[in-house]
Structure 1
Amino acid sequence: MEKTITDIANELGVSVSTVSKVINNRTGVGPELRKRICDYIEEVNYRPNAIAQSMIKGRTNIVGLVFGDVRNPFYADLLYYIQYELRQHGYMVMAFNSDYEAEKEVEFINQAIQSRYAGLMLITAKGDSMLRAISDIRAAKIPLVLVNRTLKDFNGSFVSVDNFQAGYMAAKHLIELGHRRLAFITGNMESSAGYHRFLGYKQALENYDIEFEESQVYSGDLKFDTGIRIAEQYVQALDLNPTGIVICNDLMAMGFIDYSKKHGVKIPEQLSVISFDNITYADLYGMELTTVDQHLQRMCECAVKTLLQQIENPGNTEILRTMIEPTLVVRGTTARPTRESPLPEE
């Protein structure tokens, strides 16, 4: 039968609070007594009851992480970095894959509130439903950080890459190579990341006196198969389409490039492609994708630090907002144009 903290206190002839201080590494216990208690705990192989501890503390040591699709290597890496950082501080991660569906996100958030999670990190936050869920999180006094997301009217902490600058940087790269017609494949436009990348792209066109063409904006959803689907349309009229394309994430870009190459399109000779994320596979031989790096590891480290400040200082209401500068990584999918695409009719 497993021993309880009360059993240990009775058998050693000390108070329960003294044993508790040792278990939780708090001050107030002399070195000799501390060693005696530690030795006995190890001897009887005592394991604290996590449920009982969470009831005493009013929360668990679990941090909830809500993201779009774990099949996307960007989110897999994000989960790895966040889990690594939190583990150094004694916290576990409960990850939830929402498939980019707001209803699923809200459902998980409600479960996290009921389970007294120590904190929440949201990576797919978007729309009014999420603002209502965030209001519930705050009412439950659960620390919250948005990661690579912002929300209109959100008065809280977030850590994000400068997605407007990232979009501008991607379009500028193609323009300075000599491309004068640029297409764009969006992410979810309700997401601040996708929307701000699109705005950055448009701003670059304006700054270089290039006409924005609504017809060259394709609706995407960050998935590999979507890149394939849009490439199928694009390649059929390649000679009429822009010579450069900005794609809202690496995974869609890989789908787009895979289909295009299989159907005879020479990249970058006939078509330059640039995207965002700089995932692990972007540098694979044969892909060598030009992309905008979000410095994901740094973003995750900063996000965890921001969340822990809230968890460990519950009376601190300071709002921390960190914007990380993106970096252009030039590889083999962009070059000067070797064909001309016809300009739109006046």
Structure 2
Amino acid sequence: MTRSYNVAILGATGAVGNRIIEQLEQATIPVNHVKLLASSRSAGKQLMVSNTPVTVEEATPDSFAGVDLVLASAGGAVSKALLPAAVKQGAVCVDNTSAFRMAPMVPLVVPEVNRASLKKHHGIIANPNCSTIQMVVALAPLQQAFGLKQVIVSTYQAASGAGQQALNELYAETQQHLDQQPMTANIFPTKGDAQHHPLAFNLLPQIDVFEDDGYSHEEWKMIHETKKIMCGEMNDPAIKVTATCVRVPVAIGHGESVYIDTGDPTVTAADLRRVLSKAPGVVVLDDPSNQVYPQPLTAEGHRETYVGRIRPDSENPGCFNMWIVADNLLKGAAWNTVQIAECLVADHLL
């Protein structure tokens, strides 16, 4: 007899939480019951789950009795406060925040890349940063096939990566600008900073706060998460990684210009296309002569990671440029979270 699972979605009313519900409805996980959890402000609202209205409950440490699986996307502070209590009550938690990503005993997982690390979990599995996920989906098969010495990435990250309020602010600023009114900025580049800049008709080379070395925390995350996922340790020197992260006035879909050094001067762009065309979760869109290449509008609403503009660095054999795009709310968040849960069920790790 197939076992079914009681699932709690923490942060159910947010942009990612709504998509977790949608992805769970389409997943292979046998679900017995779904509990929707959010802040006290959202308690009492009703959301549809598999065509059935479900009332949102206030999330507390006592919310997880009888829950087998928690899918969390309610912010790092909430995850730190509540997920240890969920684990004590017997649940396995997949967390879509930064709260536990760098904890040594917590697997940081992209199923196409390091599914085997799920076997080492102690009740909490971390979902990586959205910009990291799509990049490693494309880079891991190349690392396996040819080797990988260095990664240089510049991101073009959508407004929705900062949440629904941030996306609403972009829409409002756009209308204000079109109406020839001053744009009101309260969130970007990052909500906690003393100063804010409009994103509409603009580019912001800051995502999250700045570290002492001049890198933003988003850039720090891309560097160290990539190393942890692909090499097993956040400071592993096997791959050199550097990043510049930029917020752009796009609603959904992160773009990334990625430069890699394979260390093998005999590798060709055709070799990369051949490997990527067979890689799980990857769609190659690479026909520049016909203007075929990945775009945010291409990726929106899809689970796959799209790769194109694959071309060699003509002055450095074995080095290549490519363009990577994915829906940051799906593969970058909700789908990767549910995909991890599917793997936990399939591998009997719940």
| TM-score, shorter chain, exceeding 0.5 | no
| Structure having greater relative contact order (Cα 8 Å, sep ≥ 6) | 2
What TM-score do you get using the length of structure 1 for normalisation?
Answer: 0.37
Greater fraction helix: 1
What TM-score do you get using the length of structure 2 for normalisation?
Answer: 0.36
Greater fraction strand: 2
